[in-house]
Amino acid sequence: MQIPRLHPDTIEEVKQRADIVDVVSEYVVLRKRGKDFVGLCPFHDEKSPSFTVSQTKQMYYCFGCQAGGNAIKFVMEVGKRSFADVVLDLARRYQVPVQTLEPEQRQELQRQLSLREQLYEILASTAQFYQHVLRQSQGQKAIQYLRSDRQLHEATIQQFGLGYAPPGWETLSRYLIDSKHYPAQLVEKAGLIKPRKEGGGYYDVFRDRLMIPIRDVQGRVIGFGGRTLTDEQPKYLNSPETELFSKGKTLFALDQAKAGISQFDQVVVVEGYFDAIALHAAGINNAVASLGTALSIEQVKLVLRYTESKKLVLNFDADQAGTNATERAIGEIAQLAYKGEVQMKILNIPDGKDADEYLHSHTLEDYQQLLANAPLWLNWQIQQIIKNRDLREATDFQQVTQQIVKLLKNIENNDTRNYYVSYCAEILSLGDTRLIPLRIENLLTQIVPQSDVSLLRLNKSASAKRGGNGRKTAPSPISNEPNLLEQAEALLLRIYLHCPEQRPTILAALEERDLQFSLSHHRFLWQQIIQISVKMEVDLVSNLQDIYPEFPEEMGLVSHLFHLSEKMQKDILRTPHVVQAAIACMERVLREKRYRHFLELWQATDPDTEPERWQSYYNAFYAEKMRLQELDKQRHFSITDLISS
């Protein structure tokens, strides 16, 4: 039925009361930048924020996809909803009285408004009912279970609104229909009662269960999870799909966790309600639960709105069922991970415990350490592939290799792929370092495109001619792009100029690793910096600008480093990470030269006539290769994104 036409006064008042930062923050992590706010655009995929929200103008605009408008248009676009529906929703949220152009349509408007509104009201009343029953004599076994078995304090019980559904077949239905006078059809639509097959009437969906309210991101109750306190199956029972509740599109505790996710720039996803509750009770307030189903792409995209770096840790149970659930979750979101759109780690708690069990006997710091040490999802999958396999057996070796090749083929980034090729080659070599080059070549031959395979064979043939012994050769790591080195050096100089507190760290790192600036204009600037002073209180930028007339050509090449864009001002606050990444890029150039030098010596040495020298050169180039891999991890921070600002 057609929604009544809304009075212009209503629309205007909604525009006035609905703060755009408040509205957009429900969907996008916003960071303050100057007088405006910025975040990742929800309308297109991007890695650097180009989405701007102006509180003074009450407008949003994306410089990437040119989407723009006010709060009403934002909610329309992000939720694919009609204008009137959004205005009515915002009117309810900001308590704006609703007027229509036609008085006779007000009754219809109220009916339309009240459908979802009454469902919210019924579910809120039900949550209060369950909480009340929990405190009565019939709820004693439930409250005892929460306090003794789950070790929850009163504050946590109240924080999550936990309750108890009494054992009677019609207790809730009589309360809602007879006492509160809600229509039975609406109570059924809320997923709380079901019609009897015979004899008429209704019966309660949840009976003799500990009740856990499920809320949307705005904190409104949209459904329930019920845990049995007996041997009844299923152990957990969720509300059915309703107008308000969709299990595959909802995450438990997201309303409680969204601020923590934004604060820590990471989300922890667990399987069960009580895992999430226990984590919040312990102080891990960036945890959500997947409602006992396989994590869906919709759930992942929903929660990633609140983390800028897209860091996600899956902490499912370590038993077989939990492992299967982790595999399903990875399969669902693997394409996002392969493209780098989500940084996913896998945490399996030792001894097969879930988060709730673990925290009963361990501290918050213990769990935080597990989070910090959790492997990346690819490392976890590789460990699952080799688990319980004997690589000395031909069949196991072949099957493991095939599964590894299948996994690594999907990696699009060359640096990442080469790192994991070397990582897997070490595993397949079973500690025999002489086999690693062979394993690397065998894996690359199966993984890289056919044109690259031909190139590998040409390189192998040329190396064999130089060495004269026909040995297998180790592929070289992928070279650093020259522009990346230039960007890294420029970034390090910029930090040195604008962050005095970082100067001792930079000086120590350069000295410790015996590094020099490779590019002539950067070397020139560094020499001037050293000559002026290395004291933290010196205004380097001002002093450097004073020598511009003396060296106009040289200073012209580096003068852009004396200024910071708005984006750089924000990103440069992460200087410890950026310094590490920049230093790693510079060291990588030096290490790659050493790698190639020792590799060429190794290839030119005959192992039969000079076995010790051959082994010495091999050990040297292999050590450099391992260091290169460490540096690649350190430079994972995106320098290119920073420099492009």
Q: What is the pLDDT of residue 80?
A: 80
d(CA 351, CA 318): 8
The C-alpha torsion from 91 through 97 and 103 to 109, rounded to 10°, is 40
Query: Comparing 464 with 586, which gets the higher pLDDT?
Result: 586
Taking each continuous run of H as one helix and of E as one strand, the counts in the chain are 29, 15
Provide the terminal-to-terminal Cα distance of the chain, rounded to the nearest Å.
50
Query: Per the structure block, which two tokens stand in for 138?
Result: 């019939």
Predicted model pTM: 0.61
pLDDT in tens, 192-205: 999 998 878 899 99
Bridge partners of residue 224, in order along the sequence: 213
Residue 574 in this model has a pLDDT that exceeds 80: no
Cα distances from 626 to residues 260, 334, 418, 632, in angstroms, run 37, 27, 12, 10
pLDDT at 569 (0 to 100): 67
pLDDT band at 603 (very low <50, low <70, confident <90, very high): confident
Mean pLDDT of the chain: 82
Among 6-15, 77-86, 164-173, 431-440, name the most confident range: 164-173
Tokens standing for 350? 């030792």
User: What are the distances in angstroms from CA 529 to CA 322, 532, 535, 545?
Assistant: 56, 5, 10, 11
**CA–CA separation, 288 and 355 (whole Å):** 12
Q: Which two tokens stand for residue 220?
A: 């409104």
Stretch among 110-119, 307-316, 549-558 having the lowest mean pLDDT:
110-119
Give residue 59's identity as a one-letter amino acid code: M
Q: Which of 521-525, 607-611, 641-645 has the lowest mean pLDDT?
A: 641-645
Q: Which residue has the higher pLDDT, 583 or 222?
A: 222
Which range has the worst mean pLDDT, 62-76, 84-98, 211-225, 468-482? 468-482
Cα separation of 296 and 586, whole Å?
Answer: 41
Using one digit for the tens of pLDDT, what is the confidence trace for 285-334? 999 998 866 788 888 888 887 787 889 999 987 777 778 878 888 887 88
Q: For 358-409, what is each residue's pLDDT tens digit?
A: 999 999 999 999 999 999 999 999 999 999 999 999 899 999 999 999 999 8
Instruction: Dig out the tokens for 266 from the structure.
Output: 């990471």
Distance between CA atoms of residues 631 and 228, nearest Å: 52
Residue 645 has pLDDT above 60, yes or no: no
Q: What is the three-class DSSP state of 213?
A: strand
On the question of pLDDT at 7 being above 50, the answer is yes
pLDDT at 453: 41
**AA letter at 373:** N
Hey, what are 117's tokens? 């509104």
State residue 502's pLDDT score.
84
Q: Which residue has the higher pLDDT, 432 or 151?
A: 151
Residues 6+ apart with CB under 8 A from 281: 152, 153, 156, 359
At residue 104, the pLDDT reads 60
Burial of 330-354, coded b for 16+ CB within 10 Å and e otherwise, reads bebbbebbbeebbbbbbbbbeeebb
pLDDT in tens, 115-144: 778 899 999 999 999 999 999 999 999 999
Tell me the C-alpha distance between 368 and 358, whole Å: 12
Structure confidence at residue 548 (pLDDT): 67
Using CA atoms, how far apart are residues 500 and 503, in angstroms rounded to an integer? Answer: 5
Distance CA 385, CA 381 (A): 6
Residue 284 has pLDDT above 90, yes or no: yes
502 vs 448, higher pLDDT: 502
Q: Name the helix (H) or strand (E) containing 60.
A: strand 59-62
- DSSP character at residue 264: H
Instruction: Tell me how far apart the alpha carbons of residues 400 and 59 are, in angstroms, rounded to a whole number.
Output: 54
- Cross-sheet strand order for the sheet of 236-238: 163-165, 209-215, 221-228, 236-238
Q: How large is the average pLDDT for residues 81-89?
A: 84
CB atoms within 10 A of CB 566: 12
Q: What is the dihedral of CA 437, 443, 445, 447, to 10 degrees?
A: -140
- Could you tell me the pLDDT band of residue 474, with boundaries at 50, 70 and 90? very low
Give the mean pLDDT of 620-624. 84
What pLDDT band is residue 465 in, cutting at 50, 70 and 90? very low
Q: Is the dihedral of CA 143, 147, 150, 155 positive or negative?
A: positive
Residues of the chain with pLDDT > 90, as a percent, come to 34
Alpha helices in 135-169 (DSSP H): 140-144, 154-159
Read off the pLDDT of residues 147-161 as tens digits, 9 standing for 90 and up: 999 999 999 999 999
Q: Which SS3 state, helix, strand or coil, does residue 431 take?
A: coil
Check residue 107 and give its pLDDT. Answer: 61
**Band of residue 103 on the pLDDT scale cut at 50, 70, 90:** low
Angle, CA 592 vertex, CA 590 and CA 597 arms, to 5°: 100
Q: Distance between CA 142 and CA 150 in Å, rounded?
A: 11
Q: What is the pLDDT of residue 446?
A: 84
Instruction: Say what the pLDDT of residue 152 is.
Output: 96
Average pLDDT over residues 595-619: 83
Q: DSSP 3-state assignment of 593?
A: helix
Report phi then psi at 315, rounded to 5: -115, 70
Judged against a pLDDT cut of 80, whether residue 214 lies above it is answered with yes
Please state which of the ranges 121-125, 471-475, 490-494, 618-622 shows the lowest mean pLDDT: 471-475
Count of CB atoms within 10 A of residue 473's CB? Answer: 21
* SS3 state of residue 391: coil
**pLDDT tens track for 26-46:** 888 888 887 788 989 999 888
Q: Which residue has the tokens 């609905």?
A: 18
